[in-house]
Structure 1
């Protein structure tokens, strides 16, 4: 497999991007994950965010943001990740769950702490004047 197809939730507050870090791993990334068989992007992202951050995305607020491709972290050279990103509001209280060790509100100054694809997303969000 030379490509990993994933979904991500872009949530911005006070010009900072919500990011998560998995247990035992170093880089922060935009929360999300992979589709299960038969799931739409919306269904998969709602499930993943609930599992990872204990909140419910609001389906009618989901909006496509963009798709980004980069070398996959921790994978052999040439294995790429394709990250399809959505904005959405949510209900509940953000709280790390499942495999998530911590969350953080990051700006472009924190790119060195982030996965390669998250770095690309941050650069794009800066160019769109959404984060610092």
Structure 2
């Protein structure tokens, strides 16, 4: 039986690099964001998760759906998929590790091996459109 985990993530590019975060105890980098709480909208989840994980406030009026990615879930039983709604939004403040985040990194397409399956898919799509550095 296939299980689907729903998530929301923030897509933030800086100089052709994608902002990612690594949680304590993990070795892969993920997109900032997380699972909606019961009754939360995509926008509410994105605002809450980015504030908790990175200490950044997003401008709610600029939240724009960017793409939806489905990929195998890292560290979960076979057949588990993560469906991630990825959005862009304008931040206030500089991102930094907060809460469960051990480290942030701006990845290029060449950094794919360091990323989760979902993040690799986003890196591939951004590189294909020329929005991401390839090295």
Q: Classify the TM-score, shorter chain.
A: over 0.9
TM-score by length of 2: 0.95
Gaps of 5+ in 2: none
Find the aligned partners of 1:93 and 1:11 in 2 and give their Cα distance. 12
- 2:65 is paired with a residue whose SS is strand
Find the aligned partners of 2:61 and 2:67 in 1 and give their Cα distance. 18
Shift of 1:119: 0.3
Alignment partner, residue 20 of structure 1:
21
Alignment partner, residue 116 of structure 1:
117
Alignment partner, residue 84 of structure 2:
83
Aligned positions, number? 132
Alignment partner, residue 48 of structure 2:
47
- 1:83 is paired with a residue whose SS is strand
Find the aligned partners of 1:36 and 1:96 in 2 and give their Cα distance. 21
Alignment partner, residue 33 of structure 2:
32
- 1:119 is paired with a residue whose SS is helix
Gaps of 5+ in 1: none
The answer to whether structure 1 residue 98 and structure 2 residue 99 are counterparts is: yes
Question: CA RMSD of the aligned region, Å?
Answer: 0.9
Q: Would you identify which runs of 4 or more consecutive aligned residues in structure 1 move more than 6 Å?
A: none
